[in-house]
Amino acid sequence: MDATLVPNDLFEQVARRFRVLGEPVRLLLLNLLHRHGEMNVQQLVEASDQSQANVSKHLRLMADEGLLSRRKDGLFVYYDIQDQSLSGLCLLVCGQVQRGAGGLN
């Protein structure tokens, strides 16, 4: 069995993915998309109480990283979670944080 946690050739990609997830507004947007499914930018702006520019910036970054899918329908751009591993990852980390593990109290 290989004891490597992260293969050397994936260090940069994995670190970039964790940086993208390390922003509270992005986690809020992911929560909304997880709860409601596909939403357009305006719906996410209203539900998150963030500015349209801020929401659009975060959504674009997550879509560029492959976390979200994006589709345009007329004047509206819709986003949805593309990377299905996000749910498991968030549940795992949140469970550890709630138990006080890892010094994240």
CA atoms of 90 and 30, how far apart (whole Å): 10
- CATH code at position 91: 1.10.10.10
Q: Has residue 22 been placed in a domain? A: yes
Inside any domain, residue 52: yes
Q: In what order do the strands lie in the sheet with 76-81?
A: 39-40, 76-81, 68-73
62 within a domain of the structure (yes/no): yes
- The pLDDT score that the predictor gives to residue 100 is 87
Tell me how many domains the chain contains: 1
| 2 found inside a domain | no
Note down the domain range covering 29. 8-103
Please report how the helices 24-36 and 52-64 are oriented relative to each other, as an axis angle in degrees rounded to 10. 80
pTM of the predicted protein model:
0.86
104 pLDDT above the threshold of 70 = no
> pLDDT (tens digit, 9 = 90+) per residue, 57-90?
999 999 999 999 999 999 999 999 999 999 888 8
Structural domain includes residue 1: no
- 6-51: per-residue pLDDT in tens? 889 999 999 999 999 999 999 999 999 999 999 999 999 999 999 9
